[in-house]
């Protein structure tokens, strides 16, 4: 736009499908836009651990956050929303939280009333956005995940409701919900996201143990799933940790399978973290072993801005094209008007090939999305 010359035209929505999706997201960003609350300078000195998944966040910091939440006095009905006089950001978050809280409290009540339902422990996350690549074209992005404890059933049972990539979720190959933290892990790109309802059981220890869950796809015909997972977390030092998960799963129509997944992370300094991850999956639905390897660099700027740069490669043994995809993904992420609402965007550069008939060509892409969190949500 030429400087000094004001724009006097009108803005009208684009008519193509690709542009229309980005236009809808742009309208949402404008709707959410508002004054950013003033932040204390000390928040800019937080370590990069706040930008990457646990266990980067120190255990003492987690305990302090949980204690602070427990000290808050309960409302008359903590599940009810409070919208009067609130900005659109708080209204959107409150409606989502209240709906989730009432639904899960009702389900917990089916098992008795020996324990009070912990409304403050209901947590959730959702993203709204879009991505376009030359290979896959336009892909709208709407993902939802909500979880809650069920004290009247068992202190370690959780109810889980989410709109997710079903195959990736059940097999434990999803890339942290394709967010800033790990966007490039093995995903079923051709699969439509599904609503899943599941019941999960957490292990006694955060360091190692067994989790298991079972659920069903909420559509006709319903498709059940079940999975058992062994996890092992080891902190070698304050700056280095290792995490491993071995998952055994069953999915209706697709049969049994297993996934081994490990990642090693090292904090170089308060602003830089390196993370290496490897995933291998074999099932009745794959021709061989589906594998993935990724190396991510996280960097944090002042003011809670951060970037992640991922280099990855993935493929499948015994497939006609063993090396399926490789490339780079750059994401810039920052709080957007609230410290629980985030804006992420960035380009990708990949070389993907699915069949012998097609040539491997460079594919440019770009994605943009917003993330909303409530409760003590942790990835």
Distance CA 374, CA 379 (A): 12
Query: Has residue 207 been placed in a domain?
Result: yes
Q: What is the pLDDT along the chain (379 residues), one digit of tens a residue?
A: 433 333 333 333 333 444 444 444 554 444 455 444 444 444 433 444 444 443 344 444 445 545 544 444 444 477 887 777 777 777 778 888 888 888 878 887 877 777 788 888 888 888 888 889 999 888 887 878 888 888 877 666 788 888 888 888 888 887 643 444 544 333 445 567 788 888 888 777 778 899 989 999 888 888 899 999 999 999 898 889 999 999 999 988 778 999 999 989 999 988 899 999 999 999 988 888 999 999 999 998 877 788 989 999 999 998 999 999 999 999 998 888 787 788 889 999 999 999 999 999 999 999 898 888 877 665 4
Decide: pTM greater than 0.75.
no
Query: Has residue 62 been placed in a domain?
Result: no
Contact at 8 Å (CB) between 123 and 374? Answer: yes
Could you count the other beta carbons within 10 Å of the beta carbon of residue 199? 16
Query: Has residue 163 been placed in a domain?
Result: yes
Distance CA 191, CA 169 (A): 12
Query: Has residue 125 been placed in a domain?
Result: yes
Query: Has residue 238 been placed in a domain?
Result: yes
Q: Is 174 strand, coil or helix?
A: coil
Task: Work out how many domains the chain is built from and give that number.
Answer: 1
Q: Which two tokens stand for residue 105?
A: 């409290």
Q: Which two tokens stand for residue 274?
A: 């390196």
Residue 92, preceding peptide bond in cis (omega within 30° of 0): no
Sign of CA dihedral 31, 308, 180, 120: negative
Query: Has residue 308 been placed in a domain?
Result: yes
Contact at 8 Å (CB) between 327 and 350? Answer: yes
Residues in the chain: 379
User: Which DSSP string corresponds to 281-345?
Assistant: EEETTSSSEEEEEEEEEEEE-GGG-EEEEEEEEEEETTSSSSEEEEEEEEEEEEEEEETTEEEEE
Count the helices and strands in the chain (H runs, E runs).
Answer: 4, 14
- pLDDT for 175 equals 66
N-to-C CA span, the chain: 41
Give me the residues paired with residue 298 across strands.
273, 308
Contact at 8 Å (CB) between 154 and 201? Answer: yes
- pLDDT for 57 equals 45
User: Which DSSP string corresponds to 138-165?
Assistant: EEEEEEEEEEEEETTTEEEEEEEEEEE-
Could you count the other beta carbons within 10 Å of the beta carbon of residue 128? 18
- pLDDT for 245 equals 94
Residue 185 neighbours by CB under 8 Å, 6+ apart? 168, 173, 174, 175, 176, 277, 279, 292, 294, 312
Query: Has residue 2 been placed in a domain?
Result: no
* C-alpha distance from residue 148 to each of 64, 102, 119 (Å): 20, 11, 9
We report the CATH number of the domain holding residue 267 as: 2.40.160.40
Query: Has residue 269 been placed in a domain?
Result: yes
User: Which domain range does residue 22 map to?
Assistant: 17-32+78-374
């Amino acid at each position: 736009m030429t400087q000094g010359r004001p724009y006097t035209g009108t803005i009208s929505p684009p008519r193509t499908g690709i542009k229309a999706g980005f236009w809808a997201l742009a309208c949402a960003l404008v709707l959410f836009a508002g004054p950013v609350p003033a932040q204390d300078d000390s928040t800019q000195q937080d370590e990069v651990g706040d930008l990457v998944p646990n266990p980067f966040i120190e255990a003492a910091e987690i305990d302090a956050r949980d204690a602070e939440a427990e000290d808050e006095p309960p409302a008359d009905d903590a599940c009810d929303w409070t919208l009067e006089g609130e900005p659109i950001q708080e209204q959107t978050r409150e409606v989502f939280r209240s709906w989730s809280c009432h639904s899960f409290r009702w389900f917990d009540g089916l098992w008795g009333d020996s324990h009070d339902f912990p409304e403050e422990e209901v947590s959730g996350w959702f993203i709204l956005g879009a991505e376009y690549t030359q290979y896959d074209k336009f892909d709208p992005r709407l993902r939802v995940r909500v979880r809650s404890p069920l004290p009247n059933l068992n202190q370690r049972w959780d109810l889980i409701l989410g709109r997710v990539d079903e195959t990736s979720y059940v097999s434990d190959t999803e890339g942290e919900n394709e967010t800033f933290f790990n966007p490039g892990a093995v995903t079923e790109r051709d699969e439509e996201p599904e609503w899943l309802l599941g019941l999960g059981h957490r292990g006694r220890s955060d360091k190692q143990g067994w989790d298991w869950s079972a659920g069903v796809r909420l559509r006709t015909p319903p498709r059940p799933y079940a999975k058992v997972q062994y996890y092992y977390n080891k902190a070698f030092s304050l700056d280095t940790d290792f995490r491993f998960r071995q998952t055994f799963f069953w999915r209706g129509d697709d049969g049994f399978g297993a996934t081994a997944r490990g990642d090693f992370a090292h904090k170089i300094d308060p602003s830089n973290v390196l993370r290496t991850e490897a995933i291998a999956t074999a099932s009745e639905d794959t021709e061989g072993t589906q594998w993935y390897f990724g190396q991510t660099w996280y960097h944090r700027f002042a003011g809670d801005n951060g970037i992640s740069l991922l280099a990855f490669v993935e493929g499948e043994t015994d497939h006609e094209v063993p090396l399926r995809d490789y490339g780079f993904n750059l994401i810039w992420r920052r709080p957007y008007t609230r410290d629980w609402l985030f804006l992420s965007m960035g380009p990708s550069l990949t070389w993907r090939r699915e069949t012998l008939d097609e040539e491997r060509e460079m594919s440019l892409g770009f994605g943009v999305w917003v993330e909303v969190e409530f409760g003590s949500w942790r990835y």
